[in-house]
Protein backbone atom coordinates (compact mmCIF):
# COMPACT_ATOMS: atom_id res chain seq x y z
CA UNK A 1 0.00 0.00 0.00
CA UNK A 2 1.27 3.50 -0.76
CA UNK A 3 1.96 5.80 2.15
CA UNK A 4 -0.68 8.30 3.20
CA UNK A 5 0.69 11.78 2.52
CA UNK A 6 -0.63 14.92 4.21
CA UNK A 7 0.17 18.48 3.14
CA UNK A 8 0.63 21.00 5.97
CA UNK A 9 0.67 24.75 5.23
CA UNK A 10 3.29 26.55 7.34
CA UNK A 11 4.51 30.14 7.77
CA UNK A 12 3.10 32.40 5.05
CA UNK A 13 3.71 30.23 1.98
CA UNK A 14 5.66 27.08 2.98
CA UNK A 15 4.56 23.47 2.97
CA UNK A 16 5.64 20.54 5.11
CA UNK A 17 4.48 16.99 4.52
CA UNK A 18 3.76 13.88 6.57
CA UNK A 19 4.14 10.44 5.01
CA UNK A 20 2.46 7.72 7.10
CA UNK A 21 2.48 3.93 6.89
CA UNK A 22 -0.62 2.53 8.57
CA UNK A 23 0.76 -0.99 8.96
CA UNK A 24 3.93 -0.09 10.85
CA UNK A 25 2.80 3.24 12.28
CA UNK A 26 5.94 4.89 10.97
CA UNK A 27 5.51 8.54 10.03
CA UNK A 28 8.03 10.79 8.32
CA UNK A 29 8.02 14.58 8.29
CA UNK A 30 9.53 16.19 5.23
CA UNK A 31 10.99 19.57 6.24
CA UNK A 32 10.13 21.53 9.37
CA UNK A 33 9.29 25.19 8.65
CA UNK A 34 7.54 25.70 12.01
CA UNK A 35 6.49 23.41 14.84
CA UNK A 36 2.91 24.47 15.61
CA UNK A 37 0.97 23.31 12.54
CA UNK A 38 2.98 20.09 12.28
CA UNK A 39 2.47 19.14 15.92
CA UNK A 40 -1.23 19.94 15.62
CA UNK A 41 -1.58 17.65 12.59
CA UNK A 42 0.27 14.81 14.33
CA UNK A 43 -1.94 15.18 17.40
CA UNK A 44 -5.15 15.35 15.36
CA UNK A 45 -4.28 12.11 13.57
CA UNK A 46 -2.78 10.32 16.54
CA UNK A 47 0.46 9.72 14.67
CA UNK A 48 3.90 9.43 16.26
CA UNK A 49 6.81 10.79 14.28
CA UNK A 50 9.54 8.29 13.45
CA UNK A 51 11.62 10.13 10.83
CA UNK A 52 12.39 13.68 9.74
CA UNK A 53 13.72 14.14 6.20
CA UNK A 54 15.43 17.48 5.58
CA UNK A 55 15.91 18.72 2.02
CA UNK A 56 18.25 21.69 2.58
CA UNK A 57 19.50 24.08 5.22
CA UNK A 58 17.41 27.22 4.66
CA UNK A 59 15.74 28.45 7.83
CA UNK A 60 12.20 28.15 6.47
CA UNK A 61 12.72 24.39 6.09
CA UNK A 62 14.43 23.60 9.41
CA UNK A 63 13.55 26.17 12.08
CA UNK A 64 10.65 24.20 13.53
CA UNK A 65 12.68 21.06 14.08
CA UNK A 66 13.80 21.58 17.69
CA UNK A 67 10.25 22.17 18.89
CA UNK A 68 9.00 19.12 17.03
CA UNK A 69 11.72 16.81 18.38
CA UNK A 70 10.90 17.86 21.94
CA UNK A 71 7.54 16.11 21.61
CA UNK A 72 8.37 13.57 18.91
CA UNK A 73 11.94 12.24 19.16
CA UNK A 74 12.64 10.99 15.65
CA UNK A 75 15.50 9.98 13.39
CA UNK A 76 16.72 13.04 11.49
CA UNK A 77 18.02 12.40 7.97
CA UNK A 78 19.69 14.88 5.65
CA UNK A 79 22.43 15.38 3.09
CA UNK A 80 26.00 14.61 4.08
CA UNK A 81 27.09 17.49 1.84
CA UNK A 82 24.93 19.88 3.88
CA UNK A 83 25.54 18.36 7.33
CA UNK A 84 27.76 21.23 8.46
CA UNK A 85 24.84 23.68 8.28
CA UNK A 86 21.83 21.44 8.93
CA UNK A 87 20.56 20.63 12.43
CA UNK A 88 22.31 17.56 13.90
CA UNK A 89 21.68 14.51 11.72
CA UNK A 90 21.22 10.92 12.84
CA UNK A 91 21.79 9.69 9.30
CA UNK A 92 23.70 11.41 6.51
CA UNK A 93 22.76 10.52 2.94
CA UNK A 94 23.95 11.24 -0.58
CA UNK A 95 22.78 10.84 -4.17
CA UNK A 96 21.93 7.21 -4.90
CA UNK A 97 21.41 6.21 -1.28
CA UNK A 98 18.23 4.49 -0.18
CA UNK A 99 16.61 3.82 3.19
CA UNK A 100 13.40 2.22 4.42
CA UNK A 101 10.22 3.97 5.52
CA UNK A 102 7.29 1.76 6.44
CA UNK A 103 8.59 -1.02 4.22
CA UNK A 104 9.04 1.31 1.24
CA UNK A 105 12.42 2.35 -0.17
CA UNK A 106 13.15 6.07 -0.11
CA UNK A 107 15.64 7.04 -2.79
CA UNK A 108 17.87 10.07 -2.31
CA UNK A 109 18.47 12.39 -5.28
CA UNK A 110 21.02 15.19 -5.27
CA UNK A 111 19.19 18.18 -6.78
CA UNK A 112 21.71 20.93 -6.13
CA UNK A 113 21.12 24.32 -7.69
CA UNK A 114 18.96 26.33 -5.30
CA UNK A 115 21.58 25.35 -2.74
CA UNK A 116 24.58 23.06 -3.02
CA UNK A 117 23.69 19.89 -1.15
CA UNK A 118 19.92 20.14 -1.70
CA UNK A 119 18.34 16.67 -1.90
CA UNK A 120 14.98 15.30 -2.96
CA UNK A 121 13.36 12.11 -1.68
CA UNK A 122 11.67 9.77 -4.17
CA UNK A 123 9.27 7.03 -3.03
CA UNK A 124 8.62 4.86 -6.09
CA UNK A 125 5.92 2.64 -4.54
CA UNK A 126 3.95 5.69 -3.44
CA UNK A 127 4.74 7.54 -6.71
CA UNK A 128 5.84 10.60 -4.75
CA UNK A 129 8.85 12.89 -4.83
CA UNK A 130 9.55 15.58 -2.25
CA UNK A 131 11.45 18.31 -4.08
CA UNK A 132 11.24 21.34 -1.75
CA UNK A 133 12.92 24.25 -3.58
CA UNK A 134 14.38 22.38 -6.56
CA UNK A 135 11.47 21.53 -8.87
CA UNK A 136 8.48 23.60 -7.79
CA UNK A 137 4.94 23.89 -9.11
CA UNK A 138 5.39 25.78 -12.40
CA UNK A 139 8.84 26.89 -11.29
CA UNK A 140 12.18 26.09 -9.74
CA UNK A 141 14.16 27.57 -6.89
CA UNK A 142 16.30 30.64 -7.36
CA UNK A 143 19.97 29.78 -7.82
CA UNK A 144 21.36 31.06 -4.54
CA UNK A 145 24.43 28.79 -4.56
CA UNK A 146 24.49 26.51 -7.58
CA UNK A 147 24.86 27.19 -11.29
CA UNK A 148 22.32 27.05 -14.10
CA UNK A 149 23.92 23.92 -15.64
CA UNK A 150 23.84 22.29 -12.20
CA UNK A 151 20.14 23.07 -11.74
CA UNK A 152 19.33 21.92 -15.27
CA UNK A 153 20.99 18.59 -14.49
CA UNK A 154 18.96 18.33 -11.28
CA UNK A 155 15.68 19.16 -13.00
CA UNK A 156 16.45 16.70 -15.81
CA UNK A 157 16.99 14.00 -13.20
CA UNK A 158 13.58 14.73 -11.71
CA UNK A 159 11.92 14.93 -15.14
CA UNK A 160 13.15 11.41 -15.85
CA UNK A 161 10.94 9.99 -13.09
CA UNK A 162 7.64 8.36 -14.15
CA UNK A 163 5.00 10.81 -15.35
CA UNK A 164 2.53 9.63 -12.70
CA UNK A 165 4.87 10.78 -9.92
CA UNK A 166 3.30 13.39 -7.64
CA UNK A 167 5.58 16.35 -6.93
CA UNK A 168 5.45 17.69 -3.37
CA UNK A 169 7.26 21.03 -3.50
CA UNK A 170 7.99 23.46 -0.72
CA UNK A 171 6.09 26.69 -1.41
CA UNK A 172 2.82 28.18 -2.60
CA UNK A 173 4.40 30.18 -5.42
CA UNK A 174 2.37 28.68 -8.25
CA UNK A 175 0.21 31.67 -9.13
CA UNK A 176 3.18 34.03 -9.44
CA UNK A 177 5.14 31.34 -11.30
CA UNK A 178 2.28 31.05 -13.78
CA UNK A 179 2.36 34.78 -14.52
CA UNK A 180 5.98 34.40 -15.54
CA UNK A 181 5.57 31.07 -17.36
CA UNK A 182 3.10 32.49 -19.86
CA UNK A 183 5.65 35.14 -20.89
CA UNK A 184 8.06 32.51 -22.21
CA UNK A 185 5.50 29.91 -23.37
CA UNK A 186 2.53 32.04 -24.49
CA UNK A 187 0.96 29.59 -26.94
CA UNK A 188 0.87 26.59 -24.60
CA UNK A 189 -2.81 25.63 -24.27
CA UNK A 190 -2.11 23.31 -21.33
CA UNK A 191 -0.43 26.18 -19.49
CA UNK A 192 -3.34 28.49 -20.23
CA UNK A 193 -5.77 25.94 -18.81
CA UNK A 194 -3.58 25.38 -15.76
CA UNK A 195 -3.43 29.10 -15.09
CA UNK A 196 -7.21 29.28 -15.02
CA UNK A 197 -7.35 26.34 -12.61
CA UNK A 198 -4.69 27.91 -10.38
CA UNK A 199 -6.52 31.22 -10.22
CA UNK A 200 -9.74 29.45 -9.32
CA UNK A 201 -8.04 27.40 -6.61
CA UNK A 202 -6.29 30.38 -5.05
CA UNK A 203 -9.47 32.47 -5.09
CA UNK A 204 -11.08 29.65 -3.13
CA UNK A 205 -8.13 29.51 -0.73
CA UNK A 206 -7.07 26.08 -1.95
CA UNK A 207 -3.45 24.91 -2.33
CA UNK A 208 -1.88 24.25 -5.72
CA UNK A 209 0.68 21.83 -4.26
CA UNK A 210 1.19 18.95 -4.91
CA UNK A 211 1.11 18.57 -8.68
CA UNK A 212 1.82 15.74 -11.08
CA UNK A 213 5.13 15.40 -12.89
CA UNK A 214 3.21 14.95 -16.15
CA UNK A 215 1.56 18.34 -15.61
CA UNK A 216 4.89 19.96 -14.79
CA UNK A 217 6.48 18.54 -17.94
CA UNK A 218 3.58 19.91 -20.01
CA UNK A 219 3.50 23.39 -18.47
CA UNK A 220 6.58 24.24 -16.38
CA UNK A 221 8.98 26.28 -18.56
CA UNK A 222 11.96 25.29 -16.42
CA UNK A 223 11.47 21.68 -17.54
CA UNK A 224 10.79 22.66 -21.15
CA UNK A 225 14.03 24.33 -22.20
CA UNK A 226 14.35 21.84 -25.08
CA UNK A 227 10.89 22.71 -26.43
CA UNK A 228 11.14 24.24 -29.93
CA UNK A 229 8.32 26.72 -29.30
CA UNK A 230 9.99 28.13 -26.20
CA UNK A 231 13.37 28.24 -27.93
CA UNK A 232 11.86 30.09 -30.88
CA UNK A 233 10.05 32.55 -28.61
CA UNK A 234 13.33 33.32 -26.85
CA UNK A 235 15.26 33.62 -30.11
CA UNK A 236 17.33 30.56 -29.20
CA UNK A 237 16.39 27.99 -31.86
CA UNK A 238 18.42 24.76 -31.60
CA UNK A 239 20.34 26.08 -28.58
CA UNK A 240 21.67 23.80 -25.86
CA UNK A 241 18.76 23.26 -23.44
CA UNK A 242 21.04 24.11 -20.51
CA UNK A 243 21.67 27.53 -22.08
CA UNK A 244 17.95 28.01 -22.69
CA UNK A 245 17.24 27.09 -19.09
CA UNK A 246 19.82 29.65 -17.95
CA UNK A 247 18.05 32.33 -20.01
CA UNK A 248 14.64 31.38 -18.58
CA UNK A 249 16.01 31.45 -15.04
CA UNK A 250 17.63 34.85 -15.64
CA UNK A 251 14.36 36.24 -16.99
CA UNK A 252 12.48 34.94 -13.96
CA UNK A 253 15.01 36.61 -11.66
CA UNK A 254 14.23 39.93 -13.36
CA UNK A 255 10.49 39.38 -13.62
Polymer length of the chain: 255
Q: Is 60 annotated as a binding residue?
A: yes
Q: Is there a catalytic annotation at residue 31?
A: no
Q: Is there a catalytic annotation at residue 114?
A: yes
Q: Is 13 annotated as a binding residue?
A: no
Catalytic residue selected from 72, 114, 118, 185: 114
Catalytic residue selected from 20, 51, 57, 61: 61
Q: Is 58 annotated as a binding residue?
A: yes
64-73 long-range CB contacts below 8 Å, 24 or more apart?
64/10, 64/16, 64/32, 64/33, 64/34, 64/35, 64/36, 64/38, 65/32, 65/35, 66/35, 67/35, 67/36, 67/39, 68/29, 68/32, 68/35, 68/38, 68/39, 71/39, 72/39, 72/42, 72/48
Catalytic residue selected from 21, 31, 82, 133: 133
- CB atoms inside a 10 Å sphere around CB 150: 18
- Candidates 124, 127, 131, 82; CA nearest to 109 is 131
Q: Is 61 annotated as a binding residue?
A: yes
Q: Is there a catalytic annotation at residue 200?
A: no
Catalytic residue selected from 20, 51, 57, 58: 58
- Candidates 69, 75, 78; CA nearest to 97 is 78
Q: Is 114 annotated as a binding residue?
A: yes
Catalytic residue selected from 21, 60, 82, 110: 60
Q: Is there a catalytic annotation at residue 56?
A: yes
Q: Is there a catalytic annotation at residue 60?
A: yes
Q: Is 240 annotated as a binding residue?
A: no
Catalytically active residues are 56, 58, 60-61, 114, 133, 171
Binding site feature residues: 56, 58, 60-61, 114, 133, 171
Binding residues for Zn(2+): 56, 58, 60-61, 114, 133, 171
Amino acid sequence: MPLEIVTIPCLSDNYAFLAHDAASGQTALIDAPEAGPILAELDARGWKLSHVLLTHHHWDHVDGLAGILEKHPAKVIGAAADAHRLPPLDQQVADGDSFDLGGEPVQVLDVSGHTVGHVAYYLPKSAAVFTADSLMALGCGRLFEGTAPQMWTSLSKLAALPDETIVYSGHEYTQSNAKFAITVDPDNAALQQRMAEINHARTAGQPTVPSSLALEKATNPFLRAADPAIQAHLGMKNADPAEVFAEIRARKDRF
